[in-house]
Amino acid sequence: MKLRVEDSGIIEDLEVQEIPDSDNNQEVGQQYLVVNEEASDEDCPLHCDTIERTDPDEFFSRLPDELWIEILRDFSPFGLCNIGLTCKALLRLTRAPVLWPRLSVVGDAVGDTSTLTSLLTRCSALTSLSLTARDDISELLTVLAASCHNLAHLEVKFCPPLTFSDLSKLSRGCPRLRTLNLEGTGCLNNDGDGDQHEMEGSTECQCGPALSFCPLLGTFPLLTELNLFHCRNLHSAGLVTIAEVCLSLEKLNIDEVNYLNDEAVNTFLELRGANMKMLWLDGESLSDESFCNFHKMEKLELLSISFCDTMGSAGLKSISQLSKLEWLRLRRGAELVAQDFVAAFSDGKLGESLLHLDLSECSSLEDAGVMAVARRCPNLGSLTLAWCWEVTDVGIWALVSRCRFLINLNLCGVVRLSGDFISTIPESLIGIKTLDLEQCPDILLSDLQHLLTVKKDLHIKDYYGERVEVGNLFGDFSVLHNLVWSSDDEY
């Protein structure tokens, strides 16, 4: 029996001999250890009792910490926690701050305040942190500001609103912050009445500049992305302040803040519009007085307006000049007429760069507008026309035949559809994944099931919002019929 020696540092003082080339051995000059097969276990030099056991700490000390840390860089936080349970040496190595650049904590059940405080103190090299649904957010931010001075990305979502003091500490301790996401959390002004701006329709803000949290955002000179979704304490004066102090801002989410005025939005567009790349906002309190200036955001790649109730022709025309838009959402454009959509997509600059389009509840949209979309935006991958009641099969047929890269098509509530376009989907839309036909009463289930026989991976929603499955339309009826007859026979 021949045992190949891989590591001469582990097995020492053993006689080896060079095996010459032969018919059964093609590896010339390889060193092999020759062991007598008839020898007993006690005589074998490889018997486990003769091998010296190495202490784990001594074993890990043979390589410098820098090499072990390079090895451990490939493990996730969960993997590092498991590895740290192996021995004290690995526990020490896995706690190196450089191995913890990113951290995400969801909910209070993950760990108590003291545990999270200890973790944040140890992770001094943290660059990205996400905290979701934590009631102790104030305590955690205090530790974060004191320990993690290189933090670049921070998410504090669905937590109690940050106080003026919380944000002030953060601005002093984490000056390198680039992304600040306060979705569903927001921040309170320092006015002694934290609920002053909580409710829609509240009285006009009386906070002076020194009392608002918005000037503190200017102490983050590198801040490029700010999410204040549903931040009820953001008022029109605060938006103006953000425009004045956040000089590097490129992405802003102020959706679900529905009492900002046109004047504040115009000021923001004038000061920051030229650099904006992404903007989410609630347009319920806005009008064409501000919408008509949206063309100033020449670099804009994403625009989402959740309520366009008061948008008119001038507003849509201005938006249609944004040639770099890839993602556009205009929901509930009640004041827009059919010709506005035709003009926007025929004469505007929206075109091949547009990949996602959502015109939900734009009730005046007709086939002519949809056909204009199909002509000018052939690269659409996702299209939502939910509750656009005037659209028929003629418009959808144009989309299916021209927009061949569609992956998601949402036609929920397009009640005038009869399904004539369905037969053209397999040949035209090769990559389609989802088709929503909820609340479309005249489309036959049999047509959808036949489509599934060709596009087996397609997720189709029927009239009731249920996923369509391939099957015998009369199978259930036949089973029920047989059960009835069987019951009659018993009598």
- Which is nearest to 22 in space by CA: 7, 10, 11, 32? 32
Neighbours of 162 (CB within 10 A): 23
**Distance from C-alpha of 394 to C-alpha of 379, rounded to nearest angstrom:** 20
Q: 3-class SS at 40?
A: coil
Q: What is the dihedral of CA 309, 314, 315, 321, to 10 degrees?
A: 150
pLDDT of 35: 43
pTM: 0.80
Burial class (CB in 10 A: 0-12, 13-18, 19+), 374: buried
- Give me the pLDDT at residue 364, please: 96
**What residues are paired with 330 via a beta bridge?**
305
Single out the residue of 138, 192, 141, 191 nearest to residue 160, CA to CA. 138
The span from the CA of 247 to the CA of 55, in Å, is: 57
Q: Are 126 and 99 within 8 A, CB to CB?
A: no
Q: What pLDDT was estimated at residue 77? A: 81
pLDDT in the model for residue 36: 45
pLDDT of residue 69: 79
d(CA 274, CA 249): 10
Q: Which residue has the tokens 């090769």?
A: 430
Secondary structure letter of residue 219 according to DSSP: G
pLDDT of residue 179: 98
- Superfamily in which the 323-491 domain is placed by CATH: Ribonuclease Inhibitor (3.80.10.10)
CA distance 3 to 260: 80
Report the distance separating Cα 330 and Cα 260, nearest Å: 18
- Sorted by where each begins, the domain ranges of the chain are 1-53, 323-491
Question: Which two three-digit tokens encode residue 461?
Answer: 């929603």
Encode the chain (491 residues) as per-residue pLDDT tens digits: 444 444 444 444 444 444 444 444 444 444 444 444 444 545 544 444 444 565 666 666 677 777 877 888 888 888 888 888 888 878 888 888 888 899 999 998 888 999 999 989 999 999 999 999 999 999 999 999 999 999 999 999 999 999 999 999 999 999 999 999 999 999 998 865 544 554 444 445 555 556 789 999 999 999 999 999 999 889 999 999 999 999 999 999 999 998 899 999 999 999 999 999 999 999 999 999 999 999 999 999 999 999 999 999 999 999 999 999 999 999 999 999 999 999 999 999 999 999 999 999 999 999 999 999 999 999 999 999 999 999 999 999 999 999 999 999 999 999 999 999 999 999 999 999 999 999 999 999 999 999 999 999 999 999 999 999 987 544 444 444 444 444 444 44
What's the pLDDT at 94?
83
In this structure, the number of other CB atoms found within 10 A of the CB of residue 42 comes to 8
pLDDT given for residue 207 in this prediction: 57
